[in-house]
């Protein structure tokens, strides 16, 4: 019974570490978004409207895409990062709510899938076609 609890605790710690790897490099952007959201009510007129629009775009687009990019980079290197950003953009378009948690899942998963297919495919083609195959996989 004690071993089962410590195993679950270890798994939960690993998951928390992986999620913090996605958020901590982007912490400055979260702070900037919070600062903009905090300042918006203190302005009036067109400036307040523009600050609110920038804050909404940051929450709905910039933050999830950066998180998805980083998740793909962790699991699938640079090209995995691109695939993670594209996959995150796909879930953003399909939803009206901010997709921060969706970006954590989708970016990491897309990078892992790209890495899997890259390893399967790279042995089947000749040396001159590597760049073409990498770009087509993305």
pLDDT, tens only, 68-90: 999 999 998 899 999 999 999 99
**What pLDDT score does 118 carry?**
87
In this structure, the number of other CB atoms found within 10 A of the CB of residue 40 comes to 17
Distance between CA atoms of residues 6 and 8, nearest Å: 5
85: nearest Cα among 38, 30, 22:
22
Please say whether the beta carbons of 73 and 80 come within 8 A. Answer: yes
> Which residues are CB-contacts of 10 (< 8 A; sequence separation ≥ 6)?
none
Residue 124: both structure tokens together: 């089947």
């Amino acid at each position: 019974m004690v071993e089962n609890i410590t195993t679950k605790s270890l798994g939960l710690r690993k998951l928390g570490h992986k999620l913090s790897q996605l958020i901590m490099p982007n912490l400055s952007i979260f702070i900037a978004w919070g600062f903009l959201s905090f300042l918006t009510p203190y302005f009036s007129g067109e400036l307040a409207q523009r600050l609110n629009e920038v804050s909404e775009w940051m929450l709905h687009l910039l933050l999830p895409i950066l998180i998805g990019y980083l998740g793909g980079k962790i699991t699938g290197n640079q090209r995995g990062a691109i695939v993670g950003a594209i996959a995150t953009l796909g879930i953003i378009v399909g939803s009206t709510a901010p997709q921060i948690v969706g970006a954590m899942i989708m970016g990491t998963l897309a990078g892992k899938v790209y890495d899997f297919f890259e390893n399967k495919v790279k042995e089947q083609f000749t040396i001159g076609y590597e760049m073409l195959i990498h770009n087509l996989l993305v």
